[in-house]
Chains A and B, each alone.
Chain A
Amino acid sequence: MPWKLLLRNLLGHPLRNLLTLVSVALAVFLIVMLQAVTLGLANTVSAAASNRLLVQSAVSLFVDLPLAYQQKMAAVPGISAICKWQWFGGRYEQDKGGYFAQFGIDPDTFLPSYPEMTIQSGSYEEFQRNRTAAVVGASLASKYGWRLGQTVPITGTIFQRVDGQPWQFTIAAIYQSSSPAIDEQTLWFHYDYLRESVETGGATGPDGVGVYMLRLQPGADALAVQRDVDALFENGPQRVQTTTEAEFNRQFVSMLGDVPSLLRLVGGAVLFAIFFAVLNTMLMAGRERTRDLGVMKALGFGNAAVAGLLVAESLAVCGTGALLGIGLAELLEGPFQIATSSFLPNFAFDRDTLVLGAGLALATGLISGLVPGLRAVRLSPVVALREVG
């Protein structure tokens, strides 16, 4: 293989090869990003715990369940703890364009049900004692520079205070998570603070509970518990649907539509477009070098050498593009994680994603090089030299 000729050919059309290389880099970057989003969604679902069930309204996730259900469910065999979850949907006063989730929960049963969460600083007991206290994720605290003891003003959109002021939550603890099932971008506060404010007329908002989390006793039959809980409210007043945490997460993700399929479709379209761009470049290169390839054949270079020259050139462009794309993706992984942390907490590249990006680029390079390469194999040196002579 005349490597010097390969290098000179690559540098012979710097602008064309650079544009092709940048196209490949951007395509790889985009494919890696899309795959990371798809994997992030899948990780959220797959990391769910098997000893937690979630009870929601059979009508919709947006319909609240009666408070009285908790006591009835507590009698179902196999349940060791119940925790209310209420979506708050407020806006942080200091960052109205930003977004993070806030939930009202039962402090006594919440943390013991989520062993993947650990308190990084502050005191969970302090959180339990103080009705207006909150626990926040480490990433969220870092994003806004929050410190322990700081008061966070949040304006309710579903639950609004009648005095028109924002709700005030005092940070009692900051948690870390060891599982993709729980992100570090959420603010948790006392459900009772919310309920009492509504009941005493200090705030307006719907009655009830968004979702009940049921922690199962060790060895409990999850299917039986699901069946028993659903049967308990079969005749109303509000029918429920009990699901595993994984299924709940899957339903939550699917509310966005079939995102993974959509992302794969976009990724496929990008790959398809870039394949033709690279193929076009290589066909042009092959055609321009008809004379050179004819000369090489006349000098005694075999078919493998002339075809290999074009394939290697294509692979070099696509391989370098892939490296650039992956490098760019690695460079932007951190900023992208921060930007998407509120709605896609598990966004990250794994080795397989990077290998996929590089593999697709190299496959594109191989096929795009083989097409003119095979043409070069069939090229007669007599014809090639006559075309220009």
Chain B
Amino acid sequence: MAVAIQIRSVTKSYQRAGETLRVLDELDLDMAPATFYALMGPSGSGKTTLLNLLGGLDRADSGEVRFGGTDLQGLSGGELAAWRARNIGFVFQGFNLLPVLTARENVELPLLLQPLSASQRRDQAERALQLVGLGDRMAHKPRELSGGQEQRVAIARAIASDPEVILADEPTGDLDRTTADSVLSLLQRLNRELHKTILMVTHDPQAASYADQVIHLDKGKLGRIETNHPARS
């Protein structure tokens, strides 16, 4: 299979209360492009740590994290930031919208890092918001939106700069079932229609059922990988 992301012998440890806690242990993983993955596992299994390594937010102690032809371990802090801006869209559990900005301004924020004019940024942000069904909420600030709407704005922000990969950390963790389903359907649509590679951390098997493949992590090691057939649509 064509490989979008390749992880080889990745180890990551943290110091907690004087003890070394190995969160990822010699992990190997290949992820195909345009595939929707769910990453599951008990608390402390290393899901968020793996997501952070893939997103270039953190660095592995050893091993390789390759994204296309790029070895993330070899990039400087500044290069890594620029790489994130071009290649990764993040969706967080707590939405993490900037409260002082409107929905459209939040979506425009990552576009400031792209070589675009103000009108191009505006158009691109509005298209992203229309895509997630919030064309009529562009001038609203986050506090004026529901949780589901906030997460849709966050997803619009994640796709605004057209990144290849979307990393979502418990994107439905703070949402009720109905709202969660609509957000998951949206992620699935982004994968199906826009061919985004999506890696979604979740505890929720129902959320995982939206993914093409479910990767299980346990104590920092790769467990089984399940394929959902036929995937929910």
Contact surface of A with B, Cβ cutoff 8 Å: 2, 4-5, 8-9, 11-12, 291-292, 294-303, 380-382, 385, 388-389
Cα A9 to Cα B98 in complex, Å, equals 10
23 A/B residue pairs, CB under 8 Å, sorted by A = A5-B98, A5-B100, A8-B105, A11-B100, A12-B99, A292-B98, A292-B99, A294-B96, A295-B92, A297-B81, A298-B84, A299-B85, A299-B90, A299-B157, A300-B81, A300-B82, A300-B83, A300-B113, A303-B78, A382-B52, A385-B92, A388-B94, A389-B93
A17 to chain B, nearest CB (A): 12
Interface of A is mostly: helix
A301 touches B81 (CB 8 A): yes
Number of residues on chain B facing chain A (CB within 8 A): 29
Cα A381 to Cα B57 in complex, Å, equals 7
Q: A5-B101, A300-B85 are in contact. List 7 more A-B contacts (CB 8 A).
A: A2-B109, A4-B101, A297-B57, A298-B55, A298-B84, A299-B85, A300-B83
A376 to chain B, nearest CB (A): 13
Cβ contacts under 8 Å, A12 to chain B: 99-100
Cα A8 to Cα B142 in complex, Å, equals 14
Query: 8 smallest A-B Cβ distances: which pairs?
Result: A300-B85, A8-B100, A300-B84, A12-B100, A299-B110, A295-B96, A302-B81, A300-B81
Cα A300 to Cα B105 in complex, Å, equals 16
Cβ contacts under 8 Å, A389 to chain B: 92-94, 169
Cβ contacts under 8 Å, B101 to chain A: 4-5, 8
B105 touches A4 (CB 8 A): yes
Contact A301 B78, CB 8 Å, known A385-B96, A389-B94 = no
Cα A5 to Cα B99 in complex, Å, equals 10
B112 touches A2 (CB 8 A): yes
Cα A301 to Cα B109 in complex, Å, equals 9
Cβ contacts under 8 Å, A299 to chain B: 84-85, 90, 109-110, 113, 157
Cα A294 to Cα B101 in complex, Å, equals 16
Cα A294 to Cα B157 in complex, Å, equals 15
Cβ contacts under 8 Å, B157 to chain A: 299
The reply to whether the CB of B44 lies closer than 8 angstroms to some CB of chain A is no
Cβ contacts under 8 Å, A295 to chain B: 92, 96, 98
B105 to chain A, nearest CB (A): 6
Max chain A CB contacts within 10 Å: which of B55, B57, B94, B105? Answer: B57
Cα A291 to Cα B83 in complex, Å, equals 21
The reply to whether the CB of B58 lies closer than 8 angstroms to some CB of chain A is yes
Cα A296 to Cα B93 in complex, Å, equals 16
Closest to B53 in A: A382
Cβ contacts under 8 Å, B100 to chain A: 5, 8-9, 11-12
